[in-house]
Amino acid sequence: MFLYDFSELTSSIHNSISSVMSPLATTVVEMVIAGIVFLLFYALVGLILVYAERKICAFFQCRLGPMRVGKWGLMQTIADFIKLLMKELIMIKNADKLLFNLAPFIVIIASFLAIGAIPFAKGLHALDFDIGVLYVMAVSSIGVLGILLAGWSSNNKYSLIGAMRSGAQVVSYELSVGLSLMTIVVLAGTMQFSEIVEAQNTGWFIFKGHIPALIAFVIFIISSTAETNRGPFDLAEAESELTAGFHTEYSGIKFALFFLGEYMNMFIVASIAATVFLGGWMPLHIVGLDSFNMIMDYIPPFIWFISKTAIIIFIMMWIKWTFPRLRIDQLLTLEWKYLLPINLVNITLMALCVLNQWHF
């Protein structure tokens, strides 16, 4: 049915490893391989996203962005990364040393846990839990723990204020993220990512679920932007008022980990939005147009997945570089007075649609 099925490739790798090793060693080796692949993927995506952000932001502001290092500044992020690696790691005198050093790793580990559950193509899927949606929501909110620890252990008033804001923000917006995903779970009838993607074979959920799915998609984009601490919800690191907030005291590679964590969280929420609403790696299928569906099937699923994710990342960057930063009371008003009630009504509407077969 699908031209590009990676499950045969992964199972053949599994069989060849397990033929020479015990089951325990096989598991360990496979985990190490998956970890290395994700590490390389992280470095690649981080570099590309930072470059994309700087270029896109520049074009929104009638600028050119980085142009000096390499053609069109393509090598700029690599140069920045080398510079960051060579920076001194400043140890703060009165900081809580253990928590200070632990915090960036919690942020990066949380995003690592979340990316494992993302389906990149059929068979290219590190963890396929039957409660995948719940799992991703759970582990992606561990990241805020790292931010809170960073703010607390820095022994700095700006960091602490930034961390507290981040806590209030994530606790509020987690609700909206959960409920908007839950709307689609009601439609799909499953929480397993692979089954959610398979169910979109006959049409993406944003088309199948029409009005309630569209509302859920918009709410998911807004609240996931808030959850990743990106503008216009970047109160936690507001440069102008908090001098970078929770990562004021961090330098060198520890700062780079926070930076990478922010961009990877953006990638993860964008890929979840692409998977749940836009069909993930599933090509665009229209029921009845078989030749059209055949042509769409020839485009590899990885390309579909990455391009959908890129479109959502572009929308998030567009939002970031257009709107001014919200105040903390405006932030909480938006969540508790607007997004949450609309979301609750929306999930009821979706339940009615599913019960009465009003969806496609």
Partner 1 sequence: MNSFTKYFSDLFNGIHSLITGLKVTGSYFVRPKEIVTQQYPENRATLKMFERFKGELTMPHNNLNEHDCTACGICEMNCPNGSIEIISKFDVIDGKKKKVLDKYIYHLGMCTFCGLCVKTCPSDAIIFGQGFEHATFERTTLNKQLNKPGSVLKKEVKE
Residues that bind partner 1 (CB under 8 A): 56, 58-64, 67, 318-319, 321-323, 338
In the bound state with partner 1, the residue whose beta carbon lies nearer, of 318 and 336, is: 318
Q: How far is the CB of 17 from partner 1 (least distance, A)?
A: 47
In the bound state with partner 1, the residue whose beta carbon lies nearer, of 68 and 93, is: 68
Distance CA 88, CA 252 (A): 6
DSSP state of 121: B
Helix-, strand-, coil-residue percentages of the chain, each rounded to 5: 75, 0, 25
CA atoms within 13 A on the CB side of 205: 34
In the bound state with partner 1, the residue whose beta carbon lies nearer, of 56 and 185, is: 56
Q: How far is the CB of 160 from partner 1 (least distance, A)?
A: 32
> Looking at the chain, how many residues does it have?
360
3-state secondary structure at position 199 = helix
Q: How far is the CB of 65 from partner 1 (least distance, A)?
A: 8
Q: Return the closest-CA partner of residue 180 out of 343, 355, 345.
A: 343
- Given a contact cutoff of 8 angstroms between Cβ atoms, the answer to whether 148 and 178 are in contact is no
Q: How far is the CB of 63 from partner 1 (least distance, A)?
A: 5
Q: How far is the CB of 59 from partner 1 (least distance, A)?
A: 5
Q: Which residues of 176-208 are buried (b: 16+ CB within 10 A; e: fewer)?
A: bbbbbbbbbbbbbebbbbbebbbbbeebbbbbb
Q: Return the closest-CA partner of residue 121 out of 185, 198, 183, 33.
A: 198
Q: How far is the CB of 316 from partner 1 (least distance, A)?
A: 12
Q: How far is the CB of 336 from partner 1 (least distance, A)?
A: 13
| Bridge partners, residue 124, by sequence | 121
- Given a contact cutoff of 8 angstroms between Cβ atoms, the answer to whether 4 and 121 are in contact is yes
Distance CA 23, CA 319 (A): 48
In the bound state with partner 1, the residue whose beta carbon lies nearer, of 58 and 351, is: 58
How remote is the C-alpha of 335 from its chain's centroid? Answer: 20
- Given a contact cutoff of 8 angstroms between Cβ atoms, the answer to whether 166 and 145 are in contact is no
Q: How far is the CB of 176 from partner 1 (least distance, A)?
A: 15
